[in-house]
């Protein structure tokens, strides 16, 4: 048997892999409302609970807002809790996202990235999670089913770290990961148990130790200090993320190398920055271009919050051009990632910067689209460009 494939022990969809990650993390409370293309995650989890494969309480609620509210309540009692959603479901949770983060609850949630209407569209697009980037949640964008599984396990360990205590959302692209079958290695339960200790929430609700939660603060109360403390924890999380990915590599042999992944960047002259499944296809394109002798590389953004500014500044040093691909739109400005990268580089690097908005509403980003991005970087002025849109730029 081929050695590269031997390390996988099954094939499954991204959504199945996520459900397995939740089970291996010994999640004790799940609350969800179904929405395409997330539904098969919670369907699988409900089945696991019904079959007593997973010792967890599963609660079906009447809306995503309630799903996040009930997850907040259960996590406050010190129980590891989980939910999953997509698109409009995530937007409906928006208020509760701030509450869970502000209460410092280390919830992990899966989001299957899907476009926001109108017009109705169920396909891959990061606009849903990009519009939640400043809710105090950490954000991870996965490129494979394996990473989707592993990120649930690593996610709890990062979120529950006593220096962090912030929630984390882990993303899969609609259909391209969620409903795509590919090889996955399911780690043994013992490996996960040794890696991920039980949750011990120091401020959990305890009737022997009454406390107030989510109380009131006037302007001179602790409000501003509490927000700064969240910010400081987000800053500190960079170190914890690097440490946890190292520990995970030791436990499983799979190294996610912290907040970003560099692919063929060593002697690159031009590079693409991308996240999710577009980064995966981008690697294929970069590999093919390398075979033709072109010095190109790719930087894959795994964590969007905290944003890997330091890693990006290091990676782009000396490049002739860097192109940021966005599958979401900041109206009037084009890409969200482009804006963040520009902010990270401003005043520190003068690398020519390009932004590419591509694949909105699940439009397939083809090989020739990547080739066009490379061609724009070589031949045109830095700035933002539309890729494969009818009616031109």
Partner 1 sequence: MIEIRFHGRGGQGAVTASKILALAAFEEGKYVISFPFFGTERRGAPVTAFTRIDDGPIFIKTQIYNPDIVVILDPYVLKTGDVTSGVRDDGMFIINTGKDPEEFNLNRKTMTVDATSIAVSLGLGSRANPIVNTAMLGAFAKATGLVSLETVVNATKESSPRKPSENAMAVEQAFQSVRMG
Residue 189 interacting with partner 1 (CB under 8 A):
no
Residue 5 interacting with partner 1 (CB under 8 A):
yes
Give the tokens for residue 243. Answer: 């440490």
- CB of 304 closer than 8 Å to CB of 338: no
- Select the span of 1-9, 87-95, 100-108, 205-213 touching partner 1 (CB under 8 A): 1-9
Residue with Cβ nearer partner 1 (39 or 161)? 39
Q: What is the largest CA-CA distance in the chain?
A: 69
Residue 1 interacting with partner 1 (CB under 8 A):
yes
Other CB atoms within 10 A of residue 343 CB: 11
Q: How far apart are alpha carbons 27 and 366 in whole angstroms?
A: 38
- Select the span of 63-71, 176-184, 326-334, 342-350 touching partner 1 (CB under 8 A): 176-184
Kindly identify the residues of this chain, within the stretch 19-58, that bind partner 1 according to CB under 8 A.
37
Nearby residues of 297 by Cβ (< 8 Å), 6 or more positions away: 262, 263, 264, 265, 266, 268, 270, 271, 272, 286
- The residue from 135, 280, 328, 336 that contacts partner 1 (CB under 8 A) is 280
83 — phi, psi (to 5°)?
-150, 170
Residue 117 interacting with partner 1 (CB under 8 A):
no
| The dihedral sign for the CA sequence 155, 156, 162, 167 | positive
If you count DSSP H runs as helices and E runs as strands, how many of each does the chain have, helices first?
13, 15
- The residue from 34, 78, 102, 183 that contacts partner 1 (CB under 8 A) is 183
- The residue from 32, 152, 165, 176 that contacts partner 1 (CB under 8 A) is 176
Residue 291 interacting with partner 1 (CB under 8 A):
no
Residue with Cβ nearer partner 1 (63 or 181)? 181
The distance of closest approach from Cβ of residue 125 to partner 1 in the complex, given in angstroms and rounded to an integer, is 14
- CB of 327 closer than 8 Å to CB of 124: yes
Q: How far apart are alpha carbons 81 and 90 in whole angstroms?
A: 17
Residue with Cβ nearer partner 1 (274 or 312)? 274
Residue 141 interacting with partner 1 (CB under 8 A):
no
The distance of closest approach from Cβ of residue 267 to partner 1 in the complex, given in angstroms and rounded to an integer, is 20
Residue 113 interacting with partner 1 (CB under 8 A):
no
- Give how many residues touch partner 1 by CB under 8 A: 27
Residue 364 interacting with partner 1 (CB under 8 A):
yes
> CB burial class (10 A; 0-12, 13-18, 19+) of residue 69?
middle
Query: Rounded to an integer, what is the distance from CA 254 to the centroid of its chain?
Result: 17
- CB of 166 closer than 8 Å to CB of 101: yes
Residue 271 interacting with partner 1 (CB under 8 A):
no
Helix (H) or strand (E) holding 235: helix 223-252
- The residue from 194, 221, 227, 284 that contacts partner 1 (CB under 8 A) is 284
Residue 309 interacting with partner 1 (CB under 8 A):
no
- The residue from 18, 45, 122, 186 that contacts partner 1 (CB under 8 A) is 122
Other CB atoms within 10 A of residue 91 CB: 17
- The residue from 366, 372, 386, 388 that contacts partner 1 (CB under 8 A) is 366
Query: Rounded to an integer, what is the distance from CA 202 to the centroid of its chain?
Result: 27
- Closest C-alpha among 267, 332, 331 to residue 293: 267
Residue 235 interacting with partner 1 (CB under 8 A):
no
The distance of closest approach from Cβ of residue 264 to partner 1 in the complex, given in angstroms and rounded to an integer, is 12
- CB of 82 closer than 8 Å to CB of 29: yes
The distance of closest approach from Cβ of residue 387 to partner 1 in the complex, given in angstroms and rounded to an integer, is 13
- The residue from 367, 371, 375, 383 that contacts partner 1 (CB under 8 A) is 367
CA distances from 367 to 236, 259, 373 (A): 38, 26, 10
Residue with Cβ nearer partner 1 (55 or 181)? 181
**Residues that bind partner 1 in the complex, under the rule CB under 8 A:** 1-2, 4-6, 8, 11, 37, 122-123, 175-176, 179-183, 277, 280-281, 283-284, 287, 364-367
């Amino acid at each position: 048997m081929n050695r590269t494939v031997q390390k996988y022990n099954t094939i499954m969809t991204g959504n199945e892999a996520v459900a397995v990650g939740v089970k291996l993390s010994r999640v004790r409370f799940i609350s969800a409302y179904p929405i395409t293309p997330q539904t098969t995650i919670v369907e699988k989890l409900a089945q696991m609970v019904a079959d007593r494969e997973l010792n967890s309480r599963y609660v079906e609620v009447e809306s995503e807002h309630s799903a996040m509210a009930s997850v907040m309540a259960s996590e406050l009692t010190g129980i590891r809790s989980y939910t999953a959603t997509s698109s409009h479901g995530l937007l409906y949770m928006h208020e509760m996202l701030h509450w869970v983060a502000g209460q410092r609850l280390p919830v992990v949630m899966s989001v299957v990235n899907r476009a926001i209407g109108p017009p109705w569209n169920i396909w891959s697009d990061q606009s849903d999670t990009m519009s939640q980037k400043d809710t105090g949640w950490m954000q991870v964008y996965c490129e494979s089913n394996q990473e989707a599984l592993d990120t649930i396990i690593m996610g709890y360990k990062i979120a529950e770290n006593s220096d962090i205590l912030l929630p984390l959302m882990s993303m899969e692209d609609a259909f391209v990961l969620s409903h795509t079958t590919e090889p996955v290695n399911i780690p043994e339960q013992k490996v996960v148990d040794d890696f991920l200790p039980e949750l011990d929430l120091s401020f959990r609700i305890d009737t022997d130790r009454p406390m107030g939660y989510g109380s009131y603060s006037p302007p001179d109360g602790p409000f501003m200090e509490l927000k700064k403390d969240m910010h400081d924890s987000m800053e500190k999380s960079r170190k914890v993320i690097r440490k946890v990915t190292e520990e995970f590599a030791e436990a499983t042999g799979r190294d996610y190398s912290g907040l970003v992944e560099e692919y063929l960047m060593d002697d690159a002259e031009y590079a693409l920055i991308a996240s999710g499944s577009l980064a995966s296809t981008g690697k294929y394109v970069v590999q093919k271009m390398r075979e033709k002798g072109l010095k190109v590389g790719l930087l894959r953004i795994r964590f969007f919050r905290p944003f890997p500014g330091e890693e990006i500044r290091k990676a782009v040093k000396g490049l002739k051009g860097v192109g940021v691909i966005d599958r979401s739109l900041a109206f009037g400005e084009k890409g969200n990632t482009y804006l963040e990268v520009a902010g990270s580089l401003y005043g520190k690097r003068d690398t020519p910067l390009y932004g590419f908005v591509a694949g909105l509403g699940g439009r397939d980003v083809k090989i020739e689209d990547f080739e066009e991005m490379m061609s724009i970087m070589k031949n045109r002025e830095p700035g933002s460009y539309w890729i494969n849109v009818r009616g031109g730029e």
